[in-house]
Amino acid sequence: MSRLRFNNRQRDGYSKVPTDDSGFSDAQFEMPPPKIPWKAISLATFLFVVGTTLLIVGSLIVTGHIDTKYSDRLWPMILLGGIMFLPGAYHIRIAYYAYKEYPGYSFADIPEFE
C-alpha cells in the first residue's frame, strides 16, 4: 500500500530534489533594477529653484537693480537662498550623474524618505 501512495505523488507533480546542487542560483547574483527616489529628487529640485531665485533677488538688491527700500530683506534672502541652494544643487548633481550612469554614482546615494 505504501508503494501505491509513492507512485501517486510522482504523478501529482512532485519531483526529487537534486543532490548535486551547490545551493546557488544565477538569479541571486543579479542586481535588482535601481529604485529612483522621486520624492527626494523633487524636493531637491524645489530647494534648488527657490534657493537660486532667492540668491538672484538678493544679489539684485545688492547691485541696486531693485529699490533700496527693500534692503532690510537683503541678508535673510541671501542666507536663506544659500541654505536652500547648496543641498538642492548637490542632490540634483548626484541624481543627474546616477541617471547618466557615471561610475561611482547611483540613486542609492540620495537619501530616501517616505
Number of domains in the chain: 1
Domain assignment present for residue 11? The answer is: no
Domain assignment present for residue 4? The answer is: no
Q: What angle do CA 22, 26, 30 make, to 5 degrees?
A: 140
Distance CA 108, CA 19 (A): 39
| Model confidence pLDDT, tens digit, residues 44-74 | 999 999 999 999 999 998 888 888 787 888 8
Domain assignment present for residue 113? The answer is: no
Average of per-residue pLDDT values in the chain:
84
Domain with 56 in it: 38-108
Distance CA 14, CA 7 (A): 10
What is the reported pTM? 0.70
End-to-end CA distance of the chain: 59
Q: Quick one: cell of 23?
A: 545551493
Domain assignment present for residue 46? The answer is: yes
The separation between CA 81 and the C-alpha centre of its own chain, rounded to angstroms, equals 23
The answer, yes or no, to whether residue 82 has pLDDT greater than 80, is yes
Burial category of 33 from C-beta neighbours within 10 Å (exposed 0-12, middle 13-18, buried 19 and up): exposed
pLDDT (mean) for 95-101: 95
Longest dimension (CA), the chain: 102
Q: Output the pLDDT for position 6.
A: 54
Give the confidence band of 34 by pLDDT, cuts at 50, 70, 90.
Answer: confident
| Model confidence pLDDT, tens digit, residues 5-27 | 555 555 666 666 666 666 677 77
